[in-house]
Amino acid sequence: MGTGKSAVARELAQLLGRAVVDIDAEIERKAGKSISAIFAESGEPHFRDIETEATREAARSRKQIISTGGGVVLRRQNVEALRSSGMIFCLFATPEAILERTRANRDRPLLQTSDPLGRIREMLAARDPYYRGGCDHMIDTVGKTPKEVALEISEKFCLTREK
């Protein structure tokens, strides 16, 4: 969370002339409520079930940019579904940068704690093996705009616009 996934996905989709699917937005659209409401009403395990179905559905189509939540890698079947659709990029940032980017957003249920920086550090430490084991490429977003990250991905990995 807070690494710029949604913004970078939009920039990359525009750059490559592809559609973008934001898994979190799809979950909210289908559920008719916010992710925070899903967490509050049904808990994280239920949210992860919905996320898995949305990921599986999005991965059925190719030649699109899929933006996921940071916890999508916690389930192996999500990584397998995404891998079947293309390359997996993990955007990362320092805990301090993530806190700064998410500080004003109250729609982050996992950060509603007295120590959000500590919570970010805990989540990153717990998820790091999943990110490194499930992602094809790690991209640092600190000090970069979403457009700069999208250009880096496109140039570094020789992605081109399909006509």
Counting as low any pLDDT under 70, the low residues of the chain are 109-110, 159-163
Q: How confident is the model over 36-73, as pLDDT tens digits?
A: 899 999 999 999 999 999 999 999 998 899 999 888 99
What is the pLDDT, as a whole number, of residue 163?
46
Contact 63, 16 (CB under 8 A): no
Sort 133 into a burial class: Cβ within 10 Å, 0-12 / 13-18 / 19+. Answer: exposed
Cα–Cα distance, 23 to 26 (Å, whole number): 5
CATH numbers and ranges of domains, the chain? 5-156 (3.40.50.300)
Q: Nearest Cα to 119, choosing from 105, 108, 135? A: 108
Query: What per-residue confidence (pLDDT) applies to 102?
Result: 83
Element (DSSP H or E) covering residue 64: strand 64-67
Q: What is the pTM of this model?
A: 0.86
